[in-house]
Structure formats: structure tokens, C-alpha cells
A and B are shown apart, each in its own frame.
Chain A
Amino acid sequence: MRGALGTERAWAGALRGGLPEEHSPDSPLSVHDLTVAYHRKPVIWDIDLEIPEGKLVGIVGPNGAGKSTLIKACLELVPRSSGEVRIFGEPYRAQRKLVGYVPQRESVDWDFPVSVLDVVAMGTYGRLGWLRPVNRRCKGLAMEALEKVGLADYAQRQISQLSGGQQQRVFLARALAQDARIYFMDEPFAAVDAATERAIVGILHELKRRGRTCLVVHHDLATVEEYFDWLVMLNMRVVAAGPTAEVFTAENLRKTYGGKLTLLSEAAAAVSKEAGTVE
């Protein structure tokens, strides 16, 4: 078993043209040997990544491939089983102010009693710090962010009155108000209208122009080449990572989506079964 896994990893490494062994301090995100397990069943396994600065990075893979888990593990929202994550060369804890997060839209209750502006202003709370009330400057920043996503007219609306696409743009605006250097976005394009999709693409390009790095969990393979200049293809582990033009190949797609990972998933099933008998 061990030998088989080792081979697998070596093979993945060869695909990427060799692994950098140390964390590079310049990389906005570098992940080393990251494994995450829910109830002892591994969800992502042995992830190694080195994301270059200023790129729009897509993360693609089938359902259950661990795309959201990868993001959440980087942000320390789910416990890691092993491995390290560095943001600009430092642990996440020390770099939180540099990171913006756009969660999945379904992760909150949209019937919550707040206005659109209130939600977007939450992006500035980190800068405000403890006990200081939301001031005019925060609201100004929030308003600017709302203008960028085309929702300035909706600032005073209650959030339950928004459409799904508008809700997604509100989350994006909240992250923009944070003014981070690296953004993690969890399926921002999921089930949105065309206007929202255009708005998000526009924002991504503006962020790139300003040298920001964006990691975007994505599900629509048809738009991958158009939207992203860097790609992580994920199915429990990194199948391929690199410039989209190089890694977005039929061969890699087959490896990511084509169920060619029987050995790995069988091993995962065996581990969780064993864990089950231990419990």
C-alpha cells in the first residue's frame, strides 16, 4: 500500500515538473503535504501547491474532490490532519489581514435582519478591531465595494430581497472591502445570472491588474480557459497544477474526472472502514 501511494505521489510530482521542497516566501500561497480528514475519512490527501503571485487561479475537480475543503483548510476553518500552509511565507494566523474569503452563498441565512450595506461593511471589521463601532469610513469603503459590483442602489435593502446572483455579489463586495492581497472564493459562479457572471469576471480582472492573487473554486469546465490563467486540477490530491494552457489537457481532465484513481479511493475506503471498526 505504502509503495503504491509513494509511486502515486512521485508520479504527480513528475507531472508538475518537480516539487519545490521549501516554502517560497514570495508565494502568496504555498501548501505542503496537506491532508484533511472528516471522521477519519480523508477528503484531500497530500496536497502540495505553490501558487504564483498575481494570477487568477481556478480550482476544478468533480463533486467531492475536496475543492472547498482545500480552501477551508488553507483558512484554518477545518482542522488539518497534517501538513503546512504558508501565506506569503508565514502561517495563516499571522497573515489574516492579507486574506479575503468569499464563502459559498448557501453558507448563511439570508433572512437575517441586516441590510446589504451592513453585510459589506463586515469586510472592514478586521481593520476596525474590537469594540469600535462601524463608522462612516467603513460605510464609505463598503459603498465603494458595492459600486464595483454594481449594487450601489441596493445598499439599504434587506438582504432577503436580493436574487441569488445579487447575494453572490454582496459576498464579493464584502471581500473587496477587506482589500486583501489574496482572495479565496468558493464557487462564486455557482447558479448565478449572466449579469453577475460578467460582474465577477470584471472584478477578477481588476484584482489581477492590481497584482492580487485569486483562488476560485470553479465547476464550469467550458469557461476555465477563458477565466483563469493558472489551474489546479483536484481529485482528493492534485492531479495537475500550472498555467492553464499547459495543464488543461484532455489527458489531465481524464485523470481528474475519469475515475482513474481507483487505487487511491479504495485506500481511502479501507482507512475509513478500519476507523469505523476502531470506533
Chain B
Amino acid sequence: MKMCGGTLCALFFGLAAVAEASAGSLRDDFSSVVFLRDYNTRLVLISTALLGVAGGLAGSFLLLRKRSLMGDALSHATLPGIVLAFMFAVHFTGGGRSFAVLITGAAVTGILGCVVVLLIRGLTRVKDDAAMGIVLSVFYGAGVVLLSVVQHMPEAGTAGLESFLYGKTASMVRTDFYLVSGAAVISLFASLALFKEFRLLCFDEEYARSMGWPTHALDVLMLLLVTLVTVVGLQAVGVVLIIAFLIIPAASARMWTSRFGWMLVLAAGFGGASGWLGAGLSALAPGLPAGAVIVLTAAAFFVLSLLAGPDRGIVGRAVRAALLKRRIERQHLLRGIYEVLEETGPAPQLAGEGTPVVPWAALERKRSWTPRELRRVVRRAYRQGLVETMGRAGLRLTDAGARAAARVTRNHRLWEIYLVEHADIAPTHVDRDADAVEHILGADIIRRLEATLPSAARPAADGVPASPHPIR
């Protein structure tokens, strides 16, 4: 839930940032971007893709450690550091825009922000989320104030500093590329080397501590990794949106897998792809702020994952629910037919010559189906070759349908008998209880049911035991 909220928030800011930008028209240099013909574009795209990989890895740990908000506080707290470093550089060296100097400042105040969060948490009874909210906004506010002060300094050309707010990939140069690549390589190695330690820490910190792992040191390492990715990503994605670059690929990856290792791989992939595509799109339309486009690209992957993720995706869940509903309806139909035929006596003839036709009205009564619902269920069963319809008179089971009906009824009754004999449920109530579970019983449970039920040993001739309660 929390991560969805974060994603929506990022989406909102992304849209706002795009709208803010002057609408740059798509140029015809599409091919030069896609095929990396232009040297600077090539640098930018490779950098942002590497950054995405690093962000996906670090973000996965952050997400699973449930520290997403901490990452947000950290990234916002970098802003005053950037501006202070700029002022410092202007004052002492004259030139202010060395990327390395700026991100050093960013790292210092970013980590300071985290320390303040920890101090507030440790020394007062203010809760975690409140502490992070306070630090995030206060540091960011300080950054904005400092930024406007700097902009009024006469001697300094401050062009470029605002790009740290929303990100501007076009301003990246070769040294930036080396920095970003270095950070990506470091985060890749750290993730591989500390895979086991981070997994243990994220899953069960207390247990890790009981075994003697220095969990505080591991937390610091994780935070340093996040700081590293954050500060080198600031120029491309910006202070406000960098957290999305960390969290969204990880959240997307979680939709596809329930394995820690695969989640890291997928998060790195999603991050890299969003960096590449987002930077490419913003290169085509130079008016668009790169950070926002990158985040929106990542958000698109997230929405896709949300819908299509096999295990947790919305579409997958809906399909599974629909399939289950159909199976239940089919089983109800088959058992209904069996019970109607059984009214003549136990072990009725179910199919073939001379079998009575089951009238529609009798089946409607069985399940309080409306005529339309019943026709829909029957039509599906007909397509599966389970029943044949005899016009207005009613319907009949095919041979396959007869076998299925006997099996379905048998499972239902075995389960009912089990509930009556072993769970002390009144026979009059057992029908609905059995209904709730019988449709999902596997073959293994049925075998165990058979083994535990002595009454199942004396079924009627067709293997179906008598119902333990009167049938409506």
C-alpha cells in the first residue's frame, strides 16, 4: 500500500514537471538518438541506464528493509548540501560547478539528514514517519532558501543548479559519466557480495543480531549504497524524483517474482530500461525535464507489472478468479444433474440410451439459478462436451459428463461425511461448508479423505456414497 502511494506521488510530480516544461517538439533526429550516433547522447543514455541498474539494486534493498521513506528523506536532504558546496567552491576556487564537489556536499547533508532522523527517533518519542517527514521538509526548505540566495549572488553564474531539482541529463559530461559508471559498478558488486547479509537483515533483523551480525553496520552500508546512487543520480533525475528511481523498479520487480535474487535482477532491468528509454525520450524533446520523463517511464513499467504480474498482477488474479468461478458453476451443474437423476434411486443411470432427460426447471430449483444463468452455464458445459441439450425438454449428460458428475458428487459427499464425522458439524449445515472447500480439493486430499472415512467404504454401486443430509 505504502509503495503504491509513493508511486502515485511520484507519478503526480512527474506529470507536474512535464507540464511545467515548455512543450518541445519532437525533432527528426529520432534515429540519431536511437542508434546512439551522437556522442553526447550516447554518454547520457548509457549513464542513465547504468544509473537505473544501480538504482534498481539499491532500491530493492531499501524497499525490502521498509525504508523507502528514509530514502526520500535522504534525497531531499541533499539539496542544501549541493548549494552549500556550490557556494563553497565559488568562494574558494572561483568556479562552482564541479560535479564531484557538488555531490560531495549532497552526500554530506544527505547523510546528516539520516543521522538527524535517527537522533530524533532515539532521543524522543517522536515516531519514525514523523521524524522523516520533519527532516525531509526542513532540509528541503533550507535547500530552496539557499538556492534563492545563491541566485542573487552577483559573481556566480548559477545556471545548472536548478537542474538538480528536476534533473537535466543534457548537462552531463564525460567525467559525470565516469562517476555514474563507477557508482553503478560499486552497487553491483556490493549487491552481489552482500547479497546473503542484506537478505538476512531485511527479512529478520533481530535474528541476524542474535547470530552476531553487526546489523547497524550493515544498515549503514545499505544507507551508503543508497546515498551513492542518490547523489550520482541527482543531476540526471533530480532531488525531488530520485526516490522514485530507487523504489519504482523494485516495486515493479516484486510484482513478477517472489524470489529475492530474481527481484534484484528484474529491478536492475526495469531501472536500466527506464533510464535508457526515459533519457532517450527527453533527448528527443529537449524541453522536457529528463528526471520526470525517466520516472514516468519507470511508472509505465510499474503499471504494466501491476496489471500483468503473474502472481500479484491484477489481470492474473482476475483471470484466476473467473476460472475458479466457472469451475464451481460447472461442478454445481454436474452435481445438480446427478441429484435430479438420483431421485429415482441410488446409483442412477447417468448417460446413454434410456436415461431420463433432466428438465430445465428441476435444475433451476437446485441452485436458484435464473433461466439465463442456467443457459450460460449449460452452454459452457456443452462446449466442453459434458452435456447435450434436448431442446425445451431439458438436457442429458454425455459419457464424459456422466463420469465427471459421479466424481464431483462423490468428492462433495466425502467431504460432507468428513465434516459430519470428524468436525462435528450438523448434517443440515454441512452442505454449504462443503461447498466452500470442495472445489479446491486436490487429488491428494481426496485420497486421504477416502482413507480416513469408514463410511466411504460402503458407497452405492457407482462409487458415490449417499448424501448425509436430505437433498433439496
Contacts and interface: CB of A to CB of B under 8 A. Distances in A.
Interface stretch (A8-16, A106-114, A228-236, A260-268): A106-114
Contacts of A130: 197
Interface in A80-103: 93, 96-97, 99, 101, 103
A190 B211 CA distance: 23
A126 to B, nearest CB: 5
Contacts of B259: 113-115, 158
A107 B206 contact: yes
B196 A133 contact: yes
Contacts of A178: 211
Nearest to A130: B197
Contact of B207 (A76, A122, A158): A122
A174 B257 CA distance: 23
A128 interface: yes
B254 interface: yes
Contacts of A134: 196
Given A126-B211, A130-B197, A108 B258 contact: no
A131 B204 contact: no
B260 A128 contact: no
Interface residues of B, number: 25
Contacts of A174: 207
B258 A131 contact: no
A114 B264 CA distance: 12
Interface string B228-264: 0000000000000000000000000010011110010
Give the top 9 A-B pairs by smallest Cβ distance, nearest first.
A96-B212, A158-B258, A101-B210, A126-B211, A113-B258, A75-B210, A108-B204, A112-B203, A113-B260
A103 B211 contact: no
Nearest to B195: A133
Given A77-B209, A97-B212, A125-B197, 11 more contacts: A76-B209, A93-B212, A99-B210, A109-B66, A112-B203, A113-B259, A113-B263, A125-B211, A134-B196, A158-B259, A160-B258
Q: A-side binding surface: helix, strand, loop or mixed?
A: mixed
Interface in B175-207: 193-197, 199-200, 202-204, 206-207
A118 interface: yes
A119 B208 CA distance: 12
A119 B213 CA distance: 16
Q: B-side binding surface: helix, strand, loop or mixed?
A: helix
Contacts of B257: 113
- Which of B202, B211, B259 is most buried by chain A, counting CB atoms within 10 A of its CB? B211
Contacts of B211: 96, 101, 125-126, 178
B89 interface: no
A119 B203 contact: yes
A117 to B, nearest CB: 11
Nearest to A121: B196
B110 to A, nearest CB: 27
A113 B64 contact: yes
A128 B196 contact: yes
A108 B203 contact: yes
A251 to B, nearest CB: 35
Contact of A112 (B64, B195, B197, B206): B64
- Which of B196, B200, B260 is most buried by chain A, counting CB atoms within 10 A of its CB? B196
B210 A122 contact: no
Contacts of A118: 199, 260
5 contacts: A77-B210, A103-B204, A115-B258, A115-B259, A128-B196
A157 to B, nearest CB: 9
Interface string B64-78: 101000000000000
Interface in A55-85: 75-77
